[in-house]
Amino acid sequence: MRSLVRNFPIVMFLEIDKSWTLFLDRDGVINEKRENDYVKKWDEFVFIDGSLEAISILSNLFHHIIIVTNQRGVGKELMTEADLNFIHKQMIGVINKNMGRIDEIYFCTDIDDFAINRKPNIGMALKAKLDFPEIDFRKSTMIGDSESDMIFAQRLEMKGVLIGSFNENDLVKSAADFTFDSLLSIARHLENFKIKI
């Protein structure tokens, strides 16, 4: 497990203030991924240890927190959009009870990799910009666990933060600006720098 900053100095994080926007992937960042499956109902949704604490910390550091998530399970008819909305309603309820905040959730149910809203394409970010015109993508951070999340960030000139356990070859291939082992480690890193808000 690695918890480090790659290619860019730590001081870059000190530029983040309350005007910044945080974009979050969902599966593998907030909740546990289901291998070769999808979270199709609420009792399959399991928060990753520390993710609720992390979102609580991050809620005090960022102006907006927005989830952007590919949800191909709906497109494959393994679940309905109503199922997905219920999962998100329950998730936000738990996050709120733990002193966290999510301002909006955007999801893409398309099965076509070339669909504009499917990451790494930037359609969901453009929707967020329409709803929150004050968002500046160059003052935004994308936290995800996949290469597509990092390409999404790169295309929008955001800072990309990749989380998970990686070997050196993974890091060389990655488009990430920063790597950490979990959402909580990122949140504590930012909090410990006592960022000016």
- In the chain, where are the structural domains located? 4-192
Q: What is the pTM of this model?
A: 0.89
The pLDDT, as a whole number, for residue 171 is 56
Q: Quick one: average pLDDT of 49-65?
A: 97
Q: Hey, which bits of 44-152 come out as E strands?
A: 64-70, 104-108, 140-144
Q: Thinking of the domain 4-192, which architecture would CATH place it in?
A: 3-Layer(aba) Sandwich (3.40)
pLDDT score at 104? 98
Rounded to an integer, the average pLDDT of 26-36 is 96
Q: Looking at the predicted structure, is the pLDDT value of residue 8 above 50?
A: no
Tell me the average pLDDT of the chain: 89
From 17, 25, 83, 170, the catalytic residue: 25
Is-catalytic flag, 25? yes
Vertex 111: Cα angle to 110 and 114 (nearest 5): 80
- 112 catalytically annotated: no
Coil, helix or strand at residue 154: helix
Of 156 and 17, the one with more pLDDT? 156
Token pair 């394409």 is found at 121
